[in-house]
Structure 1
Protein backbone atom coordinates (compact mmCIF):
# COMPACT_ATOMS: atom_id res chain seq x y z
CA UNK A 1 0.00 0.00 0.00
CA UNK A 2 1.16 3.55 -0.75
CA UNK A 3 1.50 6.08 2.10
CA UNK A 4 -0.37 9.21 0.93
CA UNK A 5 -0.34 11.03 4.31
CA UNK A 6 1.73 13.93 2.92
CA UNK A 7 -0.89 14.55 0.24
CA UNK A 8 -3.31 15.89 2.84
CA UNK A 9 -1.20 18.94 3.65
CA UNK A 10 1.58 20.04 5.98
CA UNK A 11 2.27 17.74 8.91
CA UNK A 12 3.32 19.31 12.18
CA UNK A 13 5.29 17.24 14.65
CA UNK A 14 6.28 18.04 18.24
CA UNK A 15 9.85 19.26 18.60
CA UNK A 16 9.98 20.63 22.14
CA UNK A 17 7.92 21.23 25.25
CA UNK A 18 7.97 23.58 28.22
CA UNK A 19 6.93 22.72 31.76
CA UNK A 20 6.36 25.54 34.24
CA UNK A 21 6.92 24.83 37.92
CA UNK A 22 5.66 27.23 40.57
CA UNK A 23 6.39 27.11 44.28
CA UNK A 24 3.69 27.43 46.87
CA UNK A 25 5.89 29.51 49.14
CA UNK A 26 5.64 33.17 49.91
CA UNK A 27 8.00 34.18 47.10
CA UNK A 28 5.85 32.45 44.49
CA UNK A 29 8.94 31.56 42.39
CA UNK A 30 8.61 30.08 38.90
CA UNK A 31 10.96 27.64 37.18
CA UNK A 32 10.78 26.63 33.52
CA UNK A 33 12.09 23.33 32.22
CA UNK A 34 12.65 22.59 28.53
CA UNK A 35 12.20 19.13 26.96
CA UNK A 36 13.29 17.94 23.55
CA UNK A 37 11.08 15.43 21.74
CA UNK A 38 12.27 12.13 20.30
CA UNK A 39 11.04 10.62 17.04
CA UNK A 40 8.07 9.09 18.81
CA UNK A 41 6.98 12.43 20.31
CA UNK A 42 8.10 11.56 23.82
CA UNK A 43 9.81 14.23 26.00
CA UNK A 44 13.55 13.68 26.53
CA UNK A 45 16.59 15.62 27.69
CA UNK A 46 14.95 17.80 30.38
CA UNK A 47 16.97 20.90 31.27
CA UNK A 48 16.41 24.46 32.51
CA UNK A 49 15.24 26.83 29.78
CA UNK A 50 18.34 28.54 28.38
CA UNK A 51 18.65 32.18 27.40
CA UNK A 52 18.87 31.24 23.73
CA UNK A 53 15.74 29.10 23.93
CA UNK A 54 13.91 31.88 25.76
CA UNK A 55 14.83 34.38 23.02
CA UNK A 56 13.56 32.03 20.30
CA UNK A 57 10.33 31.60 22.24
CA UNK A 58 9.91 35.38 22.60
CA UNK A 59 10.45 35.83 18.85
CA UNK A 60 7.84 33.18 18.04
CA UNK A 61 5.29 34.79 20.35
CA UNK A 62 5.96 38.40 19.34
CA UNK A 63 2.88 40.19 17.98
CA UNK A 64 3.17 43.23 15.74
CA UNK A 65 0.71 45.56 17.49
CA UNK A 66 0.89 48.03 14.61
CA UNK A 67 -0.45 45.42 12.21
CA UNK A 68 -3.39 44.78 14.54
CA UNK A 69 -4.36 48.46 14.37
CA UNK A 70 -4.08 48.80 10.61
CA UNK A 71 -7.12 49.84 8.62
CA UNK A 72 -8.74 47.30 6.32
CA UNK A 73 -10.84 47.85 3.22
CA UNK A 74 -13.64 45.56 4.44
CA UNK A 75 -14.85 45.13 0.87
CA UNK A 76 -14.64 47.35 -2.21
CA UNK A 77 -13.04 50.72 -1.49
CA UNK A 78 -15.48 53.67 -1.62
CA UNK A 79 -15.42 55.73 -4.82
CA UNK A 80 -14.88 58.93 -2.86
CA UNK A 81 -11.73 57.66 -1.14
CA UNK A 82 -8.69 59.65 -2.31
CA UNK A 83 -5.85 58.13 -0.30
CA UNK A 84 -5.17 55.98 2.74
CA UNK A 85 -2.25 54.73 4.81
CA UNK A 86 -3.22 51.51 6.55
CA UNK A 87 -0.35 51.59 9.04
CA UNK A 88 -0.98 55.11 10.36
CA UNK A 89 -4.77 54.73 9.87
CA UNK A 90 -4.83 57.98 7.89
CA UNK A 91 -7.53 58.39 5.25
CA UNK A 92 -8.36 61.21 2.83
CA UNK A 93 -11.70 61.40 1.06
CA UNK A 94 -14.09 63.92 -0.43
CA UNK A 95 -17.83 64.50 -0.25
CA UNK A 96 -19.95 66.28 -2.83
CA UNK A 97 -22.00 69.40 -2.16
CA UNK A 98 -25.17 68.37 -0.36
CA UNK A 99 -27.77 69.39 2.18
CA UNK A 100 -26.66 68.75 5.76
CA UNK A 101 -28.17 69.12 9.21
CA UNK A 102 -26.18 71.83 11.02
CA UNK A 103 -26.20 72.47 14.76
CA UNK A 104 -25.27 75.89 16.17
CA UNK A 105 -24.75 76.89 19.78
CA UNK A 106 -27.07 79.54 21.23
CA UNK A 107 -24.18 81.98 21.52
CA UNK A 108 -23.93 82.34 17.74
CA UNK A 109 -27.58 83.27 17.38
CA UNK A 110 -28.01 81.01 14.34
CA UNK A 111 -31.00 78.70 14.23
CA UNK A 112 -30.02 75.05 13.77
CA UNK A 113 -31.41 73.38 10.66
CA UNK A 114 -30.59 72.09 7.21
CA UNK A 115 -28.52 73.94 4.63
CA UNK A 116 -26.58 73.24 1.47
CA UNK A 117 -22.84 72.81 2.02
CA UNK A 118 -19.95 72.92 -0.42
CA UNK A 119 -17.96 69.93 -1.57
CA UNK A 120 -15.45 68.96 1.12
CA UNK A 121 -12.14 67.16 1.50
CA UNK A 122 -11.62 65.23 4.73
CA UNK A 123 -8.38 63.97 6.26
CA UNK A 124 -8.51 61.91 9.43
CA UNK A 125 -6.82 59.27 11.51
CA UNK A 126 -8.21 57.74 14.71
CA UNK A 127 -7.59 60.90 16.75
CA UNK A 128 -7.66 64.01 14.55
CA UNK A 129 -9.83 65.40 11.77
CA UNK A 130 -9.00 68.03 9.16
CA UNK A 131 -11.60 69.49 6.79
CA UNK A 132 -11.14 71.59 3.65
CA UNK A 133 -13.55 72.99 1.04
CA UNK A 134 -13.66 72.72 -2.75
CA UNK A 135 -15.16 75.06 -5.29
CA UNK A 136 -15.82 72.13 -7.65
CA UNK A 137 -18.43 69.43 -7.16
CA UNK A 138 -16.52 66.47 -8.56
CA UNK A 139 -13.59 64.28 -7.62
CA UNK A 140 -10.54 66.53 -7.16
CA UNK A 141 -7.14 65.95 -8.75
CA UNK A 142 -3.75 66.27 -7.08
CA UNK A 143 -3.50 69.90 -8.26
CA UNK A 144 -6.96 70.94 -7.06
CA UNK A 145 -6.76 73.94 -4.74
CA UNK A 146 -8.00 73.50 -1.19
CA UNK A 147 -10.08 76.24 0.41
CA UNK A 148 -10.83 76.90 4.06
CA UNK A 149 -13.79 74.89 5.31
CA UNK A 150 -16.61 77.46 5.79
CA UNK A 151 -17.49 76.35 9.31
CA UNK A 152 -16.92 77.39 12.88
CA UNK A 153 -14.67 75.25 15.15
CA UNK A 154 -12.09 74.78 12.37
CA UNK A 155 -8.56 76.14 12.61
CA UNK A 156 -6.84 77.85 9.69
CA UNK A 157 -4.77 74.66 9.28
CA UNK A 158 -7.96 72.70 8.68
CA UNK A 159 -7.81 70.87 12.00
CA UNK A 160 -11.21 70.53 13.65
CA UNK A 161 -11.73 71.33 17.31
CA UNK A 162 -14.10 68.60 18.52
CA UNK A 163 -14.48 70.16 21.98
CA UNK A 164 -16.04 67.73 24.43
CA UNK A 165 -17.11 65.21 21.76
CA UNK A 166 -16.20 61.69 22.89
CA UNK A 167 -14.20 60.27 19.98
CA UNK A 168 -14.54 56.48 19.78
CA UNK A 169 -12.52 55.74 16.66
CA UNK A 170 -9.57 53.89 18.22
CA UNK A 171 -10.98 50.44 17.56
CA UNK A 172 -12.43 51.17 14.13
CA UNK A 173 -10.83 48.84 11.59
CA UNK A 174 -12.85 49.58 8.45
CA UNK A 175 -11.95 52.48 6.15
CA UNK A 176 -15.57 53.11 5.22
CA UNK A 177 -16.67 52.92 8.84
CA UNK A 178 -14.05 55.46 9.91
CA UNK A 179 -15.09 57.86 7.12
CA UNK A 180 -18.74 57.67 8.17
CA UNK A 181 -17.86 58.00 11.84
CA UNK A 182 -15.91 61.23 11.37
CA UNK A 183 -18.55 62.87 9.16
CA UNK A 184 -21.19 62.04 11.78
CA UNK A 185 -19.01 63.43 14.56
CA UNK A 186 -18.47 66.65 12.64
CA UNK A 187 -22.07 67.36 11.69
CA UNK A 188 -23.64 66.05 14.90
CA UNK A 189 -21.61 68.37 17.12
CA UNK A 190 -22.44 72.02 17.75
CA UNK A 191 -20.63 74.79 15.86
CA UNK A 192 -19.84 77.38 18.48
CA UNK A 193 -17.00 79.79 17.67
CA UNK A 194 -14.22 80.83 15.31
CA UNK A 195 -10.77 79.46 16.06
CA UNK A 196 -8.02 82.00 16.84
CA UNK A 197 -9.99 84.74 15.04
CA UNK A 198 -9.83 82.77 11.79
CA UNK A 199 -12.69 83.84 9.53
CA UNK A 200 -13.10 80.98 7.02
CA UNK A 201 -15.23 82.84 4.46
CA UNK A 202 -15.25 86.08 2.54
CA UNK A 203 -17.60 88.21 4.63
CA UNK A 204 -19.55 87.55 7.79
CA UNK A 205 -19.73 83.82 8.55
CA UNK A 206 -22.72 84.17 10.88
CA UNK A 207 -24.78 86.09 8.33
CA UNK A 208 -23.83 83.61 5.61
CA UNK A 209 -25.20 80.61 7.49
CA UNK A 210 -28.24 82.54 8.67
CA UNK A 211 -29.11 83.14 5.00
CA UNK A 212 -28.65 79.47 4.06
CA UNK A 213 -30.37 77.66 6.95
CA UNK A 214 -33.80 76.35 6.01
CA UNK A 215 -33.41 77.07 2.28
CA UNK A 216 -32.42 75.11 -0.81
CA UNK A 217 -29.95 77.78 -1.91
CA UNK A 218 -26.72 76.23 -3.15
CA UNK A 219 -23.65 77.15 -1.12
CA UNK A 220 -22.01 80.21 -2.71
CA UNK A 221 -18.54 78.88 -3.53
CA UNK A 222 -17.40 82.39 -4.42
CA UNK A 223 -17.43 83.07 -0.66
CA UNK A 224 -14.76 80.40 -0.07
CA UNK A 225 -11.19 81.57 0.62
CA UNK A 226 -8.33 79.70 -1.05
CA UNK A 227 -5.71 78.29 1.30
CA UNK A 228 -2.03 77.93 0.40
CA UNK A 229 -2.41 74.17 -0.16
CA UNK A 230 -3.38 71.89 -3.00
CA UNK A 231 -4.66 68.36 -2.55
CA UNK A 232 -1.23 66.91 -3.34
CA UNK A 233 0.17 68.73 -0.30
CA UNK A 234 -1.86 66.57 2.09
CA UNK A 235 -1.87 63.27 0.20
CA UNK A 236 -0.08 60.41 1.97
Structure 2
Protein backbone atom coordinates (compact mmCIF):
# COMPACT_ATOMS: atom_id res chain seq x y z
CA UNK A 1 0.00 0.00 0.00
CA UNK A 2 1.33 3.44 -0.94
CA UNK A 3 0.71 6.38 1.37
CA UNK A 4 -0.56 9.22 -0.84
CA UNK A 5 -1.94 11.39 1.96
CA UNK A 6 0.48 14.19 1.17
CA UNK A 7 -0.96 14.57 -2.33
CA UNK A 8 -4.41 15.48 -1.00
CA UNK A 9 -3.61 18.98 0.23
CA UNK A 10 -1.01 21.61 0.91
CA UNK A 11 0.32 21.64 4.45
CA UNK A 12 1.53 24.82 6.11
CA UNK A 13 4.42 24.75 8.55
CA UNK A 14 5.48 27.61 10.83
CA UNK A 15 8.63 29.38 9.62
CA UNK A 16 8.80 32.36 11.93
CA UNK A 17 7.06 34.04 14.85
CA UNK A 18 6.73 37.63 15.99
CA UNK A 19 6.34 38.85 19.55
CA UNK A 20 5.20 42.42 20.11
CA UNK A 21 6.25 44.29 23.24
CA UNK A 22 4.65 47.58 24.22
CA UNK A 23 5.71 50.09 26.83
CA UNK A 24 3.06 50.85 29.48
CA UNK A 25 4.59 54.14 30.59
CA UNK A 26 2.38 56.14 28.20
CA UNK A 27 4.89 56.59 25.38
CA UNK A 28 3.24 53.81 23.36
CA UNK A 29 6.61 52.54 22.15
CA UNK A 30 6.52 49.12 20.44
CA UNK A 31 9.32 46.61 20.07
CA UNK A 32 9.02 43.58 17.79
CA UNK A 33 11.08 40.48 18.32
CA UNK A 34 11.56 37.98 15.50
CA UNK A 35 11.94 34.23 16.08
CA UNK A 36 12.99 31.59 13.61
CA UNK A 37 11.11 28.30 13.91
CA UNK A 38 12.74 24.89 14.07
CA UNK A 39 10.43 21.87 14.23
CA UNK A 40 7.73 24.11 15.64
CA UNK A 41 10.00 25.57 18.32
CA UNK A 42 10.88 29.32 18.28
CA UNK A 43 14.65 29.91 18.23
CA UNK A 44 17.15 32.68 17.56
CA UNK A 45 15.20 35.68 18.95
CA UNK A 46 16.32 39.05 17.62
CA UNK A 47 14.85 42.47 16.80
CA UNK A 48 12.79 42.51 13.61
CA UNK A 49 15.08 43.72 10.82
CA UNK A 50 14.10 45.96 7.90
CA UNK A 51 14.45 43.12 5.38
CA UNK A 52 12.36 40.78 7.52
CA UNK A 53 9.71 43.48 7.80
CA UNK A 54 9.64 43.89 4.02
CA UNK A 55 9.26 40.14 3.52
CA UNK A 56 6.38 40.12 6.00
CA UNK A 57 4.66 43.05 4.27
CA UNK A 58 4.99 41.31 0.88
CA UNK A 59 3.54 38.08 2.26
CA UNK A 60 0.54 39.93 3.69
CA UNK A 61 -0.07 42.06 0.60
CA UNK A 62 -3.53 41.61 -0.92
CA UNK A 63 -4.10 42.10 -4.62
CA UNK A 64 -6.94 44.62 -4.72
CA UNK A 65 -8.04 43.33 -8.12
CA UNK A 66 -8.81 39.96 -6.55
CA UNK A 67 -11.08 41.46 -3.89
CA UNK A 68 -13.88 41.95 -6.40
CA UNK A 69 -13.56 38.85 -8.54
CA UNK A 70 -16.69 37.63 -10.24
CA UNK A 71 -18.02 34.43 -8.71
CA UNK A 72 -20.93 32.05 -9.04
CA UNK A 73 -23.65 31.99 -6.39
CA UNK A 74 -23.72 28.20 -6.49
CA UNK A 75 -24.67 25.86 -9.32
CA UNK A 76 -23.94 27.66 -12.59
CA UNK A 77 -27.07 28.58 -14.55
CA UNK A 78 -27.69 26.53 -17.66
CA UNK A 79 -27.79 29.64 -19.86
CA UNK A 80 -24.27 30.72 -18.86
CA UNK A 81 -21.88 29.93 -21.72
CA UNK A 82 -18.58 31.33 -20.44
CA UNK A 83 -17.14 33.61 -17.78
CA UNK A 84 -13.76 34.92 -16.69
CA UNK A 85 -13.63 35.81 -13.00
CA UNK A 86 -10.61 38.11 -13.28
CA UNK A 87 -11.80 40.24 -16.19
CA UNK A 88 -15.48 39.96 -15.13
CA UNK A 89 -16.42 39.05 -18.71
CA UNK A 90 -19.39 36.75 -19.14
CA UNK A 91 -21.22 35.23 -22.11
CA UNK A 92 -24.76 33.89 -21.78
CA UNK A 93 -27.87 33.34 -23.85
CA UNK A 94 -31.60 33.85 -23.35
CA UNK A 95 -34.49 32.12 -25.08
CA UNK A 96 -37.17 33.80 -27.15
CA UNK A 97 -39.73 35.44 -24.88
CA UNK A 98 -42.20 38.26 -24.48
CA UNK A 99 -40.65 41.37 -22.92
CA UNK A 100 -41.78 44.87 -22.10
CA UNK A 101 -40.08 47.27 -24.53
CA UNK A 102 -39.76 51.05 -24.31
CA UNK A 103 -39.37 53.32 -27.33
CA UNK A 104 -38.53 57.00 -27.59
CA UNK A 105 -41.56 58.97 -28.79
CA UNK A 106 -39.53 60.25 -31.77
CA UNK A 107 -39.66 56.75 -33.28
CA UNK A 108 -43.45 56.79 -33.32
CA UNK A 109 -43.61 53.29 -31.78
CA UNK A 110 -45.73 52.90 -28.67
CA UNK A 111 -44.10 51.08 -25.77
CA UNK A 112 -45.53 47.71 -24.85
CA UNK A 113 -44.97 43.97 -24.70
CA UNK A 114 -43.50 42.20 -27.71
CA UNK A 115 -41.98 38.84 -28.54
CA UNK A 116 -38.17 38.99 -28.75
CA UNK A 117 -35.77 36.51 -30.37
CA UNK A 118 -33.21 34.33 -28.57
CA UNK A 119 -30.12 36.35 -27.72
CA UNK A 120 -26.45 36.00 -26.87
CA UNK A 121 -25.05 38.53 -24.40
CA UNK A 122 -21.38 39.47 -23.87
CA UNK A 123 -20.64 41.80 -20.96
CA UNK A 124 -18.21 42.94 -18.34
CA UNK A 125 -18.76 45.57 -15.64
CA UNK A 126 -18.69 48.44 -18.14
CA UNK A 127 -19.73 47.29 -21.61
CA UNK A 128 -22.38 45.15 -23.26
CA UNK A 129 -22.69 43.46 -26.65
CA UNK A 130 -25.73 41.57 -27.91
CA UNK A 131 -26.46 39.25 -30.80
CA UNK A 132 -29.52 37.29 -31.87
CA UNK A 133 -30.03 33.56 -32.48
CA UNK A 134 -32.37 31.85 -34.90
CA UNK A 135 -33.59 29.25 -32.37
CA UNK A 136 -33.96 28.93 -28.60
CA UNK A 137 -31.80 25.82 -28.45
CA UNK A 138 -28.65 26.22 -26.39
CA UNK A 139 -25.99 27.37 -28.88
CA UNK A 140 -22.88 25.37 -29.69
CA UNK A 141 -19.51 26.77 -30.71
CA UNK A 142 -20.58 26.56 -34.37
CA UNK A 143 -23.92 28.33 -33.91
CA UNK A 144 -24.12 31.39 -36.21
CA UNK A 145 -24.83 34.78 -34.67
CA UNK A 146 -27.27 37.33 -36.05
CA UNK A 147 -27.52 41.07 -35.62
CA UNK A 148 -29.57 41.96 -32.56
CA UNK A 149 -32.75 43.46 -34.12
CA UNK A 150 -32.88 46.52 -31.87
CA UNK A 151 -32.22 50.21 -31.97
CA UNK A 152 -29.18 51.60 -30.10
CA UNK A 153 -26.99 48.65 -31.18
CA UNK A 154 -23.90 49.03 -33.38
CA UNK A 155 -23.04 46.63 -36.19
CA UNK A 156 -20.43 44.89 -33.96
CA UNK A 157 -23.09 44.24 -31.31
CA UNK A 158 -21.97 47.01 -28.94
CA UNK A 159 -24.86 48.65 -27.12
CA UNK A 160 -25.16 52.40 -26.66
CA UNK A 161 -26.73 52.87 -23.22
CA UNK A 162 -27.07 56.63 -23.66
CA UNK A 163 -27.67 58.38 -20.34
CA UNK A 164 -28.51 55.19 -18.44
CA UNK A 165 -26.64 55.14 -15.13
CA UNK A 166 -24.76 51.84 -15.17
CA UNK A 167 -23.86 50.59 -11.70
CA UNK A 168 -22.24 47.15 -11.86
CA UNK A 169 -18.83 47.92 -10.35
CA UNK A 170 -19.53 46.35 -6.96
CA UNK A 171 -21.34 43.33 -8.41
CA UNK A 172 -19.51 40.14 -7.48
CA UNK A 173 -22.14 37.64 -8.58
CA UNK A 174 -22.32 36.20 -12.10
CA UNK A 175 -26.09 35.76 -11.85
CA UNK A 176 -26.60 39.30 -10.57
CA UNK A 177 -24.46 40.82 -13.31
CA UNK A 178 -26.42 38.94 -15.97
CA UNK A 179 -29.75 40.15 -14.56
CA UNK A 180 -28.51 43.71 -14.20
CA UNK A 181 -27.46 43.95 -17.85
CA UNK A 182 -30.71 42.43 -19.10
CA UNK A 183 -32.67 44.92 -17.00
CA UNK A 184 -30.54 47.84 -18.17
CA UNK A 185 -30.97 46.85 -21.80
CA UNK A 186 -34.72 46.24 -21.81
CA UNK A 187 -35.70 48.94 -19.32
CA UNK A 188 -33.97 51.72 -21.26
CA UNK A 189 -35.61 53.55 -24.16
CA UNK A 190 -34.74 52.44 -27.69
CA UNK A 191 -34.29 55.65 -29.64
CA UNK A 192 -32.38 55.40 -32.94
CA UNK A 193 -30.37 53.27 -35.35
CA UNK A 194 -26.60 53.49 -34.93
CA UNK A 195 -24.51 54.89 -37.81
CA UNK A 196 -27.19 54.00 -40.38
CA UNK A 197 -26.93 50.34 -39.35
CA UNK A 198 -30.20 48.59 -40.10
CA UNK A 199 -30.16 45.40 -37.99
CA UNK A 200 -33.02 43.62 -39.81
CA UNK A 201 -34.15 42.72 -43.29
CA UNK A 202 -36.72 45.42 -43.91
CA UNK A 203 -37.98 48.34 -41.87
CA UNK A 204 -37.05 48.10 -38.20
CA UNK A 205 -39.66 50.63 -37.09
CA UNK A 206 -42.51 48.87 -38.90
CA UNK A 207 -41.38 45.49 -37.59
CA UNK A 208 -41.63 46.56 -33.94
CA UNK A 209 -44.86 48.45 -34.58
CA UNK A 210 -46.37 45.19 -35.86
CA UNK A 211 -45.07 43.19 -32.90
CA UNK A 212 -46.10 45.44 -30.01
CA UNK A 213 -49.10 44.09 -28.11
CA UNK A 214 -50.30 41.74 -30.87
CA UNK A 215 -48.97 38.46 -29.42
CA UNK A 216 -47.17 37.42 -32.61
CA UNK A 217 -43.86 35.58 -32.47
CA UNK A 218 -40.75 37.39 -33.63
CA UNK A 219 -40.17 36.90 -37.38
CA UNK A 220 -36.76 35.21 -37.38
CA UNK A 221 -36.71 35.43 -41.19
CA UNK A 222 -35.97 39.13 -40.73
CA UNK A 223 -32.75 38.48 -38.81
CA UNK A 224 -29.48 39.37 -40.53
CA UNK A 225 -26.70 36.80 -40.17
CA UNK A 226 -23.26 38.08 -39.18
CA UNK A 227 -19.92 36.57 -40.11
CA UNK A 228 -19.42 35.39 -36.52
CA UNK A 229 -20.16 32.12 -34.80
CA UNK A 230 -20.40 31.63 -31.06
CA UNK A 231 -16.83 30.35 -30.94
CA UNK A 232 -15.61 33.75 -32.18
CA UNK A 233 -16.88 35.56 -29.08
CA UNK A 234 -16.30 33.00 -26.34
CA UNK A 235 -13.73 34.05 -23.73
Normalized against structure 2, the TM-score is what?
Answer: 0.84
Q: Distance in 1 between matches of 2:110 and 2:230?
A: 33
Q: Distance in 1 between matches of 2:92 and 2:36?
A: 58
Aligned runs of 1:203-222 on 2, under 5 Å? 203-222=202-221
1:166 alignment counterpart = 165
Which sits farther off after the overlay, 56-65 or 180-189? 56-65
2:17 alignment counterpart = 15
Secondary structure at 1:53 match in 2? helix
Structure 2: unaligned runs, 5 residues or longer: 1-11, 24-28
Q: Distance in 2 between matches of 1:19 and 1:110?
A: 75
2:82 alignment counterpart = 83
Q: Can you list the C-alpha shifts for 1:144-193, whole angstroms capped at 9, x where unaligned? A: 10000000000101011111111111111111111111100000000011
1:68 alignment counterpart = 67
CA pair 38-70 structure 1, distance change in 2 beyond 3 A: closer
Secondary structure at 1:15 match in 2? strand
Question: 1:68 Cα deviation (Å)?
Answer: 1.7
Secondary structure at 1:122 match in 2? strand
CA pair 32-153 structure 1, distance change in 2 beyond 3 A: farther
Q: Can you list the C-alpha shifts for 1:20-78, whole angstroms capped at 9, x where unaligned? A: 99xxxxxxxxx98542359998xx6446x41x123212212210223222111111110
Structure 1: unaligned runs, 5 residues or longer: 1-9, 22-30
Secondary structure at 2:145 match in 1? strand
1:7 alignment counterpart = none
Q: Distance in 2 between matches of 1:45 and 1:12?
A: 17
Normalized against structure 1, the TM-score is what?
Answer: 0.83
Q: Distance in 1 between matches of 2:138 and 2:13?
A: 52
2:99 alignment counterpart = 100
2:142 alignment counterpart = 143
Question: 1:116 Cα deviation (Å)?
Answer: 0.3
